[in-house]
Chains A and B, each alone.
Chain A
Amino acid sequence: MTVERIVSETKDPFPVGMRVLAVDDDPTCLLLLETLLRRCQYHVTTTSQAITALKMLRENKNMFDLVISDVHMPDMDGFKLLELVGLEMDLPVIMLSANGDTKLVMKGITHGACDYLLKPVRIEELKNIWQHVVRRKKFDRKDRNNSDSKDKPHADSGEAAGIGKADNNVKINKKRKDQNEDEDEDLDENGHDNDDPSAQKKPRVVWSVELHRKFVAAVNQLGIEKAVPKKILELMNVEKLTRENVASHLQKFRLYLKRISCVANQQANMAAAVGTADSSYLRMGSLNGLGNFHAFAGTDQLHNAAFRSFPPSGVLGRLNTPAGLGIRGLPSPGTIQLGHAQNSGHSSNDQSKLQSLVPGNHNTNILQGMPMSLELDQLQNNKGVTHIGELPTANSTAVFPVSGSLIDSRIAGFSNNSLGVTSNSLMLEGSSQQATLHASNLRDGVSSIGFQNVNTLSDFASIDPLSSQLRDSKADLQGQAAPINCNAGPMIRSVPQEWNAPYQSHLMSCSVNSSIPVNGAMVQLDQCLDRNNSIFHRTMDSDSIGPLNFVDPLSIEHSEGLNSAAMKPPVIEKEGYLMYQPRPHGNHIPDNIGSLEDLASAMMKQDRDKGNPTNGNFGHNSYSHRTCI
């Protein structure tokens, strides 16, 4: 296993002893989480309040390596905590929730979570979370390298604006090479510390609200294109702040701005699609530097996440909006050309500046990207429309296999310059849309969500094959059902066909009436479940229609259930524990146990023989580790 390999190679116990802070207001889940984490040999601290967690984190910046937090908490929204932690402490944060709704997951990722786990949490998932710590540390260092080297040529490129030609690029390249050497030397001293993820000796700069405000003010004063760490540092005039700190923060900031601009692009795209193409809509893209820097926290995580492929679509994608078309006559072919340029790397006249944003193979895009800002300024002057165009989202997956984060920061810079103020929610929504395209990097979060959904649906779907088989044994069931059937007549209502046949005879009058709004198969099946459950577990219903003189279903169920237990359900040996095949919901009815169980065991046998653990119909419940539907 990977963990062991690391332990033996570096003689560093990490990830053993990784310090995790777990936050969840639900004591059941918190205790379970704590125990699971301890089982993974992490060092765990728990708290049920987000405020306490923040306090702990602020007290000692180096106390923890990773934070796991629930999404829904009474004292503070989990997403807010996520952002604050990312911004102030730059720690990886994993979100935890019982709700696997895609929108929520998206929200988590766009706020910068490095993972989104669903409850119930499995120990297998927790065994892997240390990767987020390593990943972040590695990228942090690389970021600093890149951002430093970027900033110096950035100043030069400002002078070379409007041209962006090869000779400048060459110069920049040379400069960057030199800088890289310098930077590498600088960082080599700290290299050892950086390599040791668990013992971060480098003191972490906490970017507090005031500090960030100063930073943003300095950046705005200098102008986003001209903002170099050195000048920012001078303007901020904060002691003990190094250029590297500012540089990395600047990098994150640019990512954040780019993220916002993507949201704005999404908004514009939607607007264009709807046909409103209102220029004010387009303007709602991003924040100015001062506001909403909470969301800014996400940028670093974004950097690590799938969003590398994200960025250029933001600005470049704008070509399709009517406003964008009107301004520069950049037709939609432009976007297509961009797409091609991505692959071919050649540029045509009009598009040269835009295409230069496409990374191609080398790093000269920074310079080439510069003219963009001027263009944008012109655009802005012309029509007050801030963005260029927007790719229809459908295309963006094909267009941007971006390599570096360089582009991100450039575009972020441009966007910031041109855009007005917007609201946080817009940004989130937009980037969430954008993010759908590139969510492939999400690990357990999305996949397990998908799996869960599949589980749910297939679990319910598992009823269908069974029930079709049940139809055959309908006579059987009805015969068996006789003793249990209540004297109140069967109630017939709008139920899915599959349920009708076998269960009709079991239907008693209860408060479940046909006025239940049926909202798709899931709800319907839920209602079916309700009914089935109510059949057997409800003795007296307050809303029941008529007098019910039926036998207490519970006691019957018990005896039937015990009988079924005696019939030896298929037992699967798993890691030395006997695992009893949990039956799908269709098997709730005890008197069906005979027929259903035979079916079940037959199917189970089939699966086992085939060695197929993921039979969508039936076997997943037992074979998979994922329990919940």
Chain B
Amino acid sequence: MLGLAADRLRADTNRLLAFLFHQGILDEQFLQLQQLEDESSPNFVSEVVNIYFHESEKLLRNLRSLLMDRELSDYNKMGIHLNQFMGSSSSIGAKRIRNVCVAFRAASEQNNRAGCLRALELLEHEYCFLKNKLHELFQIQQQRVLAAGVRYPMQN
């Protein structure tokens, strides 16, 4: 019974990851993150990803407030935020988000406000989607840990 749960959870993890990779939401870099997780840093991936979420939300807020300012849109500042967003997104393997950032940056370089707005909305959407999926992933993994943990006393 417990073994089945662990297997099911593992299958869920794999399916979710497969989906994310398929859709181009995540890329190889995420695998590199996973490889860095070991006994010395057991929660590395979730640590990094949580920091990423925290920072990204700040950045998205900043971007939105910059764009909402109808008087003067500071495209330079947007570019700086975007650059950071791009850097962190690519570092954790959030491929799609990074690509939207590229489009966003192109629009901002042309001072194209409409394009920037569109890109921002898309960015927010992609970000929410990724966040949900990754939370799901972490939940499954937590359950796996629990499922594995429950087994040990029985083995003893």
- Cβ of A28 and Cβ of B51 under 8 Å apart? yes
Residue-wise, chain B 48-90 has the 8 Å CB interface mask toward A (1 for contact) of 1001100100000000000000000000000010011011101
- Cβ of B88 and Cβ of A628 under 8 Å apart? no
**A276 located at the interface, meaning its Cβ lies under 8 Å from any Cβ of chain B in the complex:** no
**Residue of A512, A516, A566 with highest tally of chain B CB at under 10 A:** A516
A39 contacts across to B, CB distance below 8 A: 36
- Cβ of A527 and Cβ of B24 under 8 Å apart? no
**B142 located at the interface, meaning its Cβ lies under 8 Å from any Cβ of chain A in the complex:** no
The segment from B1-9, B100-108, B144-152 found at the interface with A is B100-108
CA distance A27 to B54 in the complex (A): 10
Chain A-chain B contacts (Cβ-Cβ < 8 Å), number: 172
- Cβ of A569 and Cβ of B18 under 8 Å apart? yes
- Cβ of B103 and Cβ of A98 under 8 Å apart? no
A543 contacts across to B, CB distance below 8 A: 118
B87 contacts across to A, CB distance below 8 A: 26, 29, 70, 97-98, 119
Residue-wise, chain B 97-128 has the 8 Å CB interface mask toward A (1 for contact) of 01110110010001010110111011001100
For chain A residues 507-546, which have a beta carbon within 8 Å of chain B? 511-513, 515-517, 519, 522-523, 526-527, 529-530, 533-534, 537-538, 541-543
- Cβ of B106 and Cβ of A523 under 8 Å apart? yes
- Cβ of A533 and Cβ of B118 under 8 Å apart? no
B23 contacts across to A, CB distance below 8 A: 557, 561, 583, 588
Nearest chain A CB to B36's CB is how many angstroms away? 5
- Cβ of B99 and Cβ of A123 under 8 Å apart? no
CA distance A537 to B118 in the complex (A): 13
Q: Which among B15, B34, B118, B126 is the interface contact of A511 at CB below 8 angstroms?
A: B118
- Cβ of B118 and Cβ of A584 under 8 Å apart? no
B137 contacts across to A, CB distance below 8 A: none
- Cβ of A580 and Cβ of B55 under 8 Å apart? no
B91 contacts across to A, CB distance below 8 A: 28-29, 32, 119-121
Nearest chain B CB to A565's CB is how many angstroms away? 4
CB closest residue in chain A, given B54: A27
Main secondary structure of the interface of B (DSSP, over half): helix
- Cβ of A588 and Cβ of B84 under 8 Å apart? no
A569 contacts across to B, CB distance below 8 A: 18, 21-22
**Residue of A522, A529, A538, A621 with highest tally of chain B CB at under 10 A:** A529
- Cβ of A516 and Cβ of B122 under 8 Å apart? no
**A99 located at the interface, meaning its Cβ lies under 8 Å from any Cβ of chain B in the complex:** yes
Nearest chain B CB to A127's CB is how many angstroms away? 13
B118 contacts across to A, CB distance below 8 A: 511-512, 530, 534, 543
**A608 located at the interface, meaning its Cβ lies under 8 Å from any Cβ of chain B in the complex:** no
B52 contacts across to A, CB distance below 8 A: 28
- Cβ of B28 and Cβ of A579 under 8 Å apart? yes
**B139 located at the interface, meaning its Cβ lies under 8 Å from any Cβ of chain A in the complex:** no
- Cβ of B18 and Cβ of A516 under 8 Å apart? no
CA distance A15 to B102 in the complex (A): 37
| Given known A98-B87, A526-B103, A533-B100, contact A582–B125 (CB-CB < 8 A) | no
CA distance A622 to B115 in the complex (A): 31
- Cβ of A122 and Cβ of B112 under 8 Å apart? no
- Cβ of A585 and Cβ of B24 under 8 Å apart? yes
CB closest residue in chain A, given B37: A35
**B92 located at the interface, meaning its Cβ lies under 8 Å from any Cβ of chain A in the complex:** yes
Q: Which among A99, A526, A533, A565 is the interface contact of B83 at CB below 8 angstroms?
A: A99
**A627 located at the interface, meaning its Cβ lies under 8 Å from any Cβ of chain B in the complex:** yes
Residue-wise, chain A 16-35 has the 8 Å CB interface mask toward B (1 for contact) of 00000000011111011001
CB closest residue in chain A, given B59: A26
- Cβ of B102 and Cβ of A565 under 8 Å apart? no
| Given known A98-B83, A523-B106, A627-B90, contact A123–B22 (CB-CB < 8 A) | no
**B141 located at the interface, meaning its Cβ lies under 8 Å from any Cβ of chain A in the complex:** no
CA distance A565 to B23 in the complex (A): 10
CB closest residue in chain A, given B129: A537
- Cβ of A530 and Cβ of B103 under 8 Å apart? yes
Nearest chain B CB to A111's CB is how many angstroms away? 18
**B138 located at the interface, meaning its Cβ lies under 8 Å from any Cβ of chain A in the complex:** no
CA distance A25 to B138 in the complex (A): 26
| Given known A39-B36, A627-B93, contact A28–B48 (CB-CB < 8 A) | yes
A274 contacts across to B, CB distance below 8 A: none
CA distance A140 to B33 in the complex (A): 37
- Cβ of A621 and Cβ of B92 under 8 Å apart? no
CA distance A577 to B30 in the complex (A): 12
CB closest residue in chain A, given B103: A526
A557 contacts across to B, CB distance below 8 A: 23
A119 contacts across to B, CB distance below 8 A: 86-87, 90-91
- Cβ of B22 and Cβ of A519 under 8 Å apart? no
CA distance A32 to B33 in the complex (A): 8
**A36 located at the interface, meaning its Cβ lies under 8 Å from any Cβ of chain B in the complex:** yes
- Cβ of B19 and Cβ of A565 under 8 Å apart? yes
Residue-wise, chain A 113-144 has the 8 Å CB interface mask toward B (1 for contact) of 00000011111000000000000000000000
A31 contacts across to B, CB distance below 8 A: 47-48, 51
CA distance A28 to B53 in the complex (A): 9
| Chain A residues engaging chain B, CB cutoff 8 angstroms | 25-29, 31-32, 35-36, 39, 70, 72, 97-99, 119-123, 511-513, 515-517, 519, 522-523, 526-527, 529-530, 533-534, 537-538, 541-543, 554, 557, 561-562, 564-566, 569, 575, 577-585, 587-588, 593, 621-622, 625, 627-629
Jot down 17 A-B pairs with beta carbons below 8 A, ordered by A.
A25-B84, A28-B51, A29-B87, A31-B47, A32-B33, A39-B36, A120-B29, A120-B92, A519-B106, A519-B110, A526-B103, A526-B106, A534-B122, A564-B19, A569-B21, A577-B31, A582-B24
4 residue pairs, one from A and one from B, having the closest CB atoms: A98-B87, A526-B103, A580-B21, A28-B88
Given contacts A35-B36, A522-B106, A582-B21, 15 further A-B contacts (CB under 8 A): A27-B51, A72-B80, A98-B86, A123-B32, A511-B117, A515-B114, A526-B99, A533-B126, A537-B125, A561-B23, A566-B15, A577-B34, A579-B31, A582-B95, A629-B98
